[in-house]
Structure 1
């Protein structure tokens, strides 16, 4: 009886936390489905009737489609490059033997604690000197560099949980390191790699500081930077801004909904080994 009551209490707490977590998303959506007059009359009331004019106005008022394409391109290139580099580095740290191995991993951990705001001015100066400022490659390079320390740390901890006997047996049989990585390590790491890709994609998509500073052309901005700058212009039109906010997070919601099983499996990989 006591155990049953405890389980019910835990489920009630989880339901409450779920409602609290989802309420901001619900508020964004219900505000976006209102007209400005309906929102002014009652901001928290349900939209009646539903109106899609704010969603249509988003594409008329701002180059939203171009911003979304820019964000997708930046996320794709940055996350792909960081994942490949981090996988190679993590393999070397987990299974290799080289001088400075511990120092290399400690340096990655130290870089994770470095605040990105401290890098804005020096990186901006470098991008100006090499002529990449106000271009998408500038933020691609920055994001790739910022993602690598965490990715190396994340993958190293996972790879160290893999059975070492399998790696040693493949080495004895004459398999090269690239072959071991592609034929043994990579298939065993797919769930973890997918989790890392999802986490890094969400971070790149939502990053605002470097996108605001490095991308100054209106059509060259990412979606979050564009919405942040247009917020002041359309601050009196809350349904329009909420429609833009909902459309900006919709790709991430779709990504997570279709990948949640692999995401959870990757997050729990290594537990209990």
Structure 2
């Protein structure tokens, strides 16, 4: 009995320590977000007086100053355009390739797929110089097309990997029944596989959207005109202009953060489903 009580006591202590540790880590992670948002609604004197406390008085002047900054609206629009274009191209080509890997038996499919997987682990910074030379030859430097092509190329391997695993788990009885009814491969793809893969497609899109929105290096190198830059790149210039006005900087960061928070909030259910669905065997 003493051994049982001792084991239960140790288990409770372990759980308590784990809960405290997770609570502390959560607070550490959330503190920068708290700092950013509360200081977005402060004036500069209020921030200097109390950088951690709640706004007193509450003001939105920092947001107005942020929007009034040169090219801020165009930076925001550029980010949305690049994100949407890259996601559409990536999803389209990845779906077709993933379907081929998952449902078509052709020579060398496994070899090609296994060669593609390591591409997910290559840091973009390693490819920066070769990509710049290629884009310079194609006369695409300082164009949105260069960034869209690079983003799409980087995201395709991961997206194919995710969708291929999901497509492979769709019951073959459904596709075989479609073939018996006279459906072609493409009809089976967009009438059966795609509707059943909604959660996987949304999961891949959410992951890619967050990456594209937060990407800095490629956009900084290939979009050299200030008016063409993304919101994340623009904020680096924004900071230098408002070095002493921290609330304006925090307002700009808050504006850049809110879209990704909304994407995650509305897509959270599909994100969990998509990540777990690939583990379900047929």
Contact 1:28–1:242 (Cα < 8 Å) also in 2: yes
- 1:11 deviates by 6.7
What is the rounded CA distance, in whole Å, between the counterparts of 1:180 and 1:73 in structure 2?
31
Q: Find the aligned partners of 2:167 and 2:144 in 1 and give their Cα distance.
A: 33
- Distance in 2 (CA, whole Å) between partners of 1:20 and 1:131 is 46
Residue 30 of structure 1, CA deviation:
0.7
For 1:39-50, list aligned pairs within 5 A: 39-50=47-58
| CA deviation profile, 1:61-89 (whole Å, cap 9, x unmatched) | 23211111110000001011101101110
CA contact (8 A) 2:169 2:280 kept: no
Name the counterpart of 1:77.
Answer: 85
Pairing partner for 2:135 from 111, 127, 138 = 127
TM-score, normalization by structure 2: 0.89
How far did 1:149 drift?
Answer: 0.6
Q: Which residue of 1 aligns with 2:114?
A: 106
Question: Which residues of structure 1 form unaligned runs of 5+?
Answer: none
| Equivalent residue in structure 1 for 2:124, among 106, 109, 116 | 116
CA shift for structure 1 position 5: 5.8
Q: For 1:118 and 1:270, how far apart are their aligned partners in 2?
A: 30
Indicate the residue corresponding to 2:64 in structure 1. Answer: 56
Report how far residue 19 of structure 1 moved: 3.7
User: With structure 1 as the length reference, what TM-score do the two structures score?
Assistant: 0.92
Distance 1:78 1:160, change over 3 A: same
Structure label with greater radius of gyration? 2
Q: Is the 8 A contact 1:64 1:223 kept in 2?
A: yes
User: Which stretch of structure 1 is more off in the superposition, 132-141 or 164-173?
Assistant: 164-173
Counterpart of 1:33 (choices 21, 41, 45) is 41
State the partner residue of 1:180: 188
Which moves more between the two structures, 163-172 or 206-215?
163-172
1:218 matched residue in structure 2: 226
- Does the C-alpha gap of structure 1 residues 92 and 143 become closer, same or farther in structure 2, counting only changes over 3 Å? same
Q: CA RMSD in A?
A: 2.2
Q: Take 2:192 and 2:213, find their aligned partners in 1: how far apart are those partners?
A: 31
Q: Give the number of aligned pairs.
A: 273
Q: Does 1:205 align with 2:213?
A: yes
Unaligned runs of 5+ in 2: none
| Equivalent residue number for residue 243 of structure 1 | 251
Give 1:261 deviation, angstroms.
1.7
Give the CA deviation at 1:201: 0.5
Q: Which moved more, 1:22-31 or 1:215-224?
A: 22-31
